[in-house]
Amino acid sequence: MDEVNNSFEKNKHVIELINMCKSYQVGEMEVPILKSIDLSVKKGEFVAIMGPSGSGKSTLMNMIGCLDRPTCGQVIVMGKDINRLSEVELARLRGFEIGFVFQTFNLVPRLSALQNVELPTYANKKEGIGSARAKELIDLVGLQDRAGYKPTELSGGQQQRVAIARALINDPSLILADEPTGNLDSKTGNEIMNIFTDLHNRGRTIIMITHDPELTGYADRVVHLKDGVISAT
């Protein structure tokens, strides 16, 4: 992914959505989900995208995360228009430049915490990254004494810490968090948000999808999504 990194200047946007829309075909009907979305996120920003259920947040996350392509308009990630990339190029962009943190953790049950963190390096075959880097990240999220534990032996908050460490293993340009505290109690949720704050203070770009207004206080900027349209920023 050196080509992407070399072509991307520090002061440019990590993400640019330009007049972007997304529709899905349901039978003979085309159902619009996102309409004329314009959104830019600069390197180092912490942006919260907030909206009620059914507002299009998950679809917007799929667009930003290169998990799907727009029906119209442009999605530009690290200076690359994703509609101009092949599936292989898109997978590489997604694998190297975006770290995902999901509400449901998505850890592999049979692997230890350390192995779960290291797992993305196997697929990407990125040289110089492996168990040593995974151990550093386990330490960073405060789980050095739980590295050998499997997910079922960890609390929800600990599993989410593992998921955050896993998201960082390939040193991505963007962390995309989808309802990262949705399955956690308020105390544990605050601990997880403090980790995101620390990562942001270290210069990480973070986009967080949420319906919880309390979490927006951690962000530099809040984008409100309603009925598939950005209503305010």
Please give the residue range of the domain that contains residue 91. Answer: 2-232
CATH number, residue 53:
3.40.50.300
pLDDT tens by residue, 17-46: 999 999 998 888 999 999 999 999 999 999
3-state per-residue secondary structure call for the chain: CHHHHHHCCCCCEEEEEEEEEEEEEECCEEEEEEEEEEEEEECCCEEEEECCCCCCHHHHHHHHCCCCCCCEEEEEECCEEHHHCCHHHHHHHHHHHEEEECCCCCCCCCCCHHHHHHHHHHHHCCCCCCHHHHHHHHHHCCCHHHCCCCHHHCCHHHHHHHHHHHHHCCCCCEEEEECCCCCCCHHHHHHHHHHHHHHHHCCCEEEEEECCHHHHHHCCEEEEEECCEEEEC
Query: Phi/psi at 208 (nearest 5 deg)?
Result: -120, 125
Residues composing the chain? 233
Name the residue among 7, 13, 54, 53 with its Cα closest to residue 32.
Answer: 54
Rounded mean pLDDT of 188-199?
A: 93
The phi and psi torsions of 182 (rounded to 5 degrees) equal -60, -30
What's the rounded mean pLDDT across residues 202-208?
Answer: 94
* Centroid of chain to Cα 123: 18
Q: Is pLDDT above 90 for 132?
A: no
The band of 5, judged by pLDDT with boundaries at 50, 70 and 90, is very low
When divided into structural domains, the chain yields a total of 1
Q: How confident is the model at residue 7 (pLDDT cuts 50, 70, 90)?
A: very low
At 52 the pLDDT is 87
